[in-house]
Amino acid sequence: MSDSELLQSSGGLASSLISQLESTAESLADGLFDLQWAIHEHPELAFQEHFAHKACTDYIEKQGFEVTRHAYGLQTAWKAVYEVGEGGPVIGFNSEMDALRGIGHACGHNLIAIAGIAAAVTTAHLLESRKISGKVILLGTPAEEAGGGKAYLLKRGAYDGMEACFMTHPGTQGYGSAISTLSCNAAFSVKYTGASAHAGAVPERGINALDAAVAAYSNIALLRQMLPDSFRVYDTIQGSEGWTANVIASESRLTVGVRCPTAKETYGTIDRVLNCLKAAALATGCQYEIRREALYFDMQQAHELDDYFTKVCTETWGHKGYTVGRSSSYASTDFGNISYHLPALHPTFSLPDSRAGDFPHSNTFASWTGSKSACEAAIQSAVSIAAVGTRMIVDRAWAKSVRDSWVRQMESIDGSETVSKIEKLVESFPLSPETSNAVCCGHDETNKHSNHV
Ligand SMILES: [Zn+2]
Ligand SMILES: [Zn+2]
């Protein structure tokens, strides 16, 4: 098949290819609805997505993909590969799976799971039917809501060799998509250790760890006023199960997220927040140990992937009122880490039947993410990212242009320098025990390190 049959003269895939992606997706719709519904009805927390792991891998294996379960040392990660020919270009898609404590699939990762599958399967079928050399890798990525599974997959080589990578996430009410900014997020926890004593009889013998947590909380509240509007620092105190009013608390824990529009700004803010934690220990005489919870980079939407995604959506569904907007969000994703590593795109798709004002991470949003129309919107968005991915494989001049443009984008934000600086800072603290247990099978992620005043 010649390039002229695959590409429009004006740039982009021939409309017959996009129609083919659409019709393949349509043929998968019933099965994908059942799959996302099953995941929706079995919500699982970060690193515990065992039901979704099995359901997704069983499904994609039946589609002819070569599947690796429990991939890269993560129990609930998986990899599915479909290759046509040998040595062709490689593109990647992602399927998230995890839910939120208490409110289930209120972020709609059940839909992300099937959107990744739909994008990978439609692309693979197109390559196969037209004998186009190329490889599609679909990663099942655990723990987006906490822990940052993709960061570990990235470090362990899961994204190596991909020329571009895609995923799509549900958004708010409407008919269309949006390309959104997403903030960088560095999360830490601090454990304060003091000494217990009778709070009435001999309080002077105690060292109050709850006071340390309260002081840290207050320090952060004071700092917050001094930060730009677009910066977010949020925290919570833990440990109340072990506290009694008449006993000086000997242990407490505070978790804190430092969230800024860019990794560079986050890097410049982390020390100010950590100083709030350390000052509280100094003031109360407690010992402290700071651990890292996660580091999510801001999402760098690759410009040329964004432009072509917008063109595909507009040309294919614009006549039905489908829109592609631009928005700013202070949400975060571990897919941001991938976007600093290779050209990546993370559009959101609207849920047509949800109510205006229903946002992810709310009970009401969870009630929409299992609906028929939400599933259709996810599959429609999957077709769009499949089209962009297919063009990467078919249109090699454009693929080079995507890469060159992304390199310039990274240079404009000092991407590689920022990655190494912020990772060095964050990784100087040991992982929290919870994350460490989840990610360390066969991998040494714990570096012993503690801080005491
Ligand atoms: Zn979420
Ligand atoms: Zn999410």
Per-residue pLDDT of 398-430, as tens digits, reads 999 999 999 999 999 999 999 999 999 999 999
pLDDT tens-digit map of 88-101: 999 999 999 999 99
Q: Do domains 3-182+299-412 and 184-297 have the same CATH topology?
A: no
Does the domain formed by 184-297 have CATH 3.40.50.300?
no
State mean pLDDT over 232-248. 95
- At residue 356, the pLDDT reads 82
pLDDT tens-digit map of 273-310: 999 999 999 999 999 999 999 999 999 999 999 999 99
Confidence of residue 4 (pLDDT cuts 50, 70, 90): low
Q: Which ligand is nearest to the CA of 362?
A: 1
Q: What is the C-alpha to C-alpha distance for residues 266 and 261, in angstroms, rounded to an integer?
A: 8
Domain ranges of the chain: 3-182+299-412, 184-297
User: Contact at 8 Å (CB) between 322 and 175?
Assistant: yes
Q: Which ligand is nearest to the CA of 348?
A: 2
State mean pLDDT over 63-81. 98
How far apart are the CA of 449 and the centre of ligand 2, in A? 32
How far apart are the CA of 64 and the centre of ligand 1, in A? 31
How does the average pLDDT of the chain come out, rounded?
Answer: 95
User: Contact at 8 Å (CB) between 190 and 277?
Assistant: yes
Q: Which ligand is nearest to the CA of 113?
A: 2
Strand locations in 75-205, DSSP E? Answer: 78-84, 90-96, 134-141, 164-166, 169-173, 176-181, 184-193
Does the domain formed by 3-182+299-412 have CATH 3.40.50.2300?
no
Q: What is the C-alpha to C-alpha distance for residues 94 and 96, in angstroms, rounded to an integer?
A: 6
How far apart are the CA of 364 and the centre of ligand 2, in A? 15
